[in-house]
């Protein structure tokens, strides 16, 4: 407000109190609300300047012009001052909030715990990948099996020790209707199920759980996982089996591994072998892991017995094939240096999270 106008306003008793009251009020108004309040008190419809201007019609023309002019100039002054002050205060408040409520959006967020696949699942997937790369298909079969698929069709005679009540979990129906139901003791019954429903050529692997009535210790569990393999075609020979399993073993454990086939017996393969890999810890020299032998057993295998082919209606004169079965826990323990099979099932996240 210029000096001349101020002097003029201060010369008028009504206007000078209004101006003084306004300027004093402004000194104390520090928040947006207080300033708005002050504006309302002076220039709203009920404000003091407005009230004063309402009296204009009752005044002498000369006085009317003077009061009208001064009133409007004062109103103008109040409005501009209030507006300027409001924007100052708003800006100050913004700065204060920016400082007080400062958030560093570049800080990392609160971590959300992330799950991961169980090591057994991972190893099964590793095995699957290797065989799928060779053209195999992945299939599955039931864990609750018929005696026929688990034993009989696999050429396993009734007197075989694995059939004993001590080794196999039998599911006895309360009605006695299903005396031959059991928890499969290996994944080999899937061989029979696949051959029953498909014609050769056939290249499949079948991962899954198997159950045995073992006493749990560092290397035994009543439930473990196996991956079964079956290849049936014309002219499949033992050298195909050797080549396939050597390739698999080196992909799984490293190119420098040796693979050994030891003569063995399985009812459903003939000839049969147990397959060993050169010890991954001592590389064959002999150590605690391989119990001094330099070799670690990783699976059973062999050429499909002609009796098995006959049981599924394949002609053993027309087709030959090989089969193998490996223990997933055993492979995982060897590959990742896990000393006790029970670690897989205890659900201790400190163990599981390492893989």
User: What is the binding site for ligand PHE (CB under 6 A)?
Assistant: 186, 188, 266, 269, 272, 300-302, 323-325
CB of 301 to ligand PHE, least distance (A): 5
Unique residue bearing structure tokens 């040796």: 258
CB of 162 to ligand PHE, least distance (A): 9
**Bridge pairing between strands 295-304 and 320-327:** antiparallel
Nearer to ligand PHE, 272 or 278 (CB): 272
Nearer to ligand PHE, 43 or 299 (CB): 299
How would DSSP label each residue in 211-248?
E--PPPSSS--SEEEEEEEEEEETT--HHHHHHHHHHH
Nearer to ligand PHE, 12 or 152 (CB): 152
Nearer to ligand PHE, 29 or 332 (CB): 332
Specify the 3-state DSSP secondary structure of 197: helix
CB of 292 to ligand PHE, least distance (A): 24
**Do 336 and 119 touch, CB atoms closer than 8 A?**
yes
Helix (H) or strand (E) holding 304: strand 295-304
**Do 332 and 338 touch, CB atoms closer than 8 A?**
yes
Nearer to ligand PHE, 208 or 302 (CB): 302
Specify the 3-state DSSP secondary structure of 347: coil
CB of 179 to ligand PHE, least distance (A): 23
Q: Let me know the angle formed at the C-alpha of 116 by 105 and 328, rounded to the nearest 5 degrees.
A: 165
CB of 112 to ligand PHE, least distance (A): 41
CB of 111 to ligand PHE, least distance (A): 42
Using CA atoms, how far residue 331 sits from 161, 216, 234, in Å, is 25, 18, 31
Region of residue 304 (phi > 0: left; psi between -120 and 50: alpha; otherwise: beta): beta
CB of 293 to ligand PHE, least distance (A): 19
Nearer to ligand PHE, 82 or 192 (CB): 192
Nearer to ligand PHE, 272 or 320 (CB): 272
Helix (H) or strand (E) holding 307: helix 306-311
């Amino acid at each position: 407000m210029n000096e001349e106008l101020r002097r003029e306003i201060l010369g008028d008793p009504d206007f000078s109190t209004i101006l003084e009251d306004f300027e004093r009020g402004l000194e104390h108004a520090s928040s947006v609300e207080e300033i708005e309040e002050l504006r309302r008190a002076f220039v709203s419809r009920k404000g003091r300047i407005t009230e004063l201007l309402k009296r204009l019609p009752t005044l002498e023309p000369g006085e009317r012009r003077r009061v009208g002019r001064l009133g409007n100039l004062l109103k103008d002054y109040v409005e501009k001052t209030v507006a300027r002050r409001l924007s100052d205060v708003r800006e100050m408040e913004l700065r204060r909030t920016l400082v007080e409520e400062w958030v560093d959006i570049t800080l990392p967020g609160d971590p959300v715990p992330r799950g991961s696949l169980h090591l057994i699942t991972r190893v099964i997937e590793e095995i699957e990948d290797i065989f799928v790369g060779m053209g195999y298909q992945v299939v599955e079969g039931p864990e609750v099996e018929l005696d026929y698929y688990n034993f009989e069709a696999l050429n396993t005679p009734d007197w075989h020790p694995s059939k004993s009540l001590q080794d196999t979990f039998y599911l006895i129906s309360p009605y006695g209707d299903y005396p031959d139901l059991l928890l499969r003791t290996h994944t080999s019954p899937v061989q029979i199920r696949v051959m029953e429903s498909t014609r050769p050529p056939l290249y499949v692997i079948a991962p899954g759980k198997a159950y045995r009535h073992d006493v749990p210790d560092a290397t035994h569990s009543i439930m473990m996982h196996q991956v079964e393999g079956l290849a049936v075609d014309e002219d499949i020979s033992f050298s195909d089996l050797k080549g396939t399993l050597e390739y698999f073993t080196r992909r799984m454990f490293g190119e420098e591994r040796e693979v050994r086939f030891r003569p063995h017996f399985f009812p459903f393969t003939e000839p049969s072998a147990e397959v060993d890999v050169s010890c991954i810890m001592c590389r064959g020299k002999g150590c605690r892991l391989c119990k001094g032998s330099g070799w670690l057993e990783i699976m059973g295998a062999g050429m499909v017995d002609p009796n098995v082919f006959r049981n599924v209606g394949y002609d053993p004169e027309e087709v030959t094939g090989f089969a193998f079965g490996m223990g997933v826990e055993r492979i995982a323990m060897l590959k990742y240096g896990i000393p006790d099979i029970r670690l897989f099932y205890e659900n201790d996240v400190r163990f599981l999270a390492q893989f």
